[in-house]
Structure 1
């Protein structure tokens, strides 16, 4: 199944990781929204809603991304975590959300995006 024309909001504060994510996603036809590195900017983009699915790092420059996750859930927007943080804790707090661990296996990320986007 294709990811072509899927719009993915990337929330990641590490510049090189965000750039790598963007390049890998664009290579398979994804349109990247962002990347953005702060909770504040991510919340603004969630309000705009011009994406299909989001990827969230947990620890951002201005705090945990949990307010963004909560806003995405309230807006019924699918998302997944891409993080090196404790996956067990995330599963307890967000039991229906897929977590892709860092370092990122892009085949796993692409499969998770297909699942979340229904493709």
Structure 2
């Protein structure tokens, strides 16, 4: 069962995403609502992929995304923000816009975790 880190600061959205991923047979790690909370959940073997809200109440999730990238853990952004905000090593990262289209997000996560 793929373990998916969820980083989302809006409780209702986090609850909805968590429920949808669990219904699709995934184990949700979190949800975390800050980079610091997410950092504490990222341990070797603890997560296979991640769903990251780009904007956490005025703070970006880029530190978490960069750490995941360094560790080789795939992730997708789920956000109302624009992909153009992604710079440097995060440019070109997968972005799913809100409102979330769950079948597309679930397919993307299944593809990211297919080898696990």
Q: TM-score when scaled to structure 1?
A: 0.87
Cα distance, 1:97 vs. partner?
2.0
**Residues 1-119 of structure 1 aligned to structure 2 (within 5 Å):** 5-47=1-43, 49-61=45-57, 63-90=59-86, 92-93=87-88, 94-118=90-114
Number of residue equivalences: 114
**Where does structure 1 lack aligned partners over 5 or more consecutive residues?**
none
Residues in 2 aligned to 1:70 and 1:45: alpha-carbon distance in whole angstroms = 15
Stretches of structure 2 lacking an aligned partner (at least 5 in a row): none
Give the alignment's Cα RMSD to 1 decimal: 1.7
Runs of 4+ in 1 over 3 A off after TM superposition: none
Q: Secondary structure at the match of 1:104?
A: coil
Distance across 1 between alignment mates of 2:19 and 2:74: 21
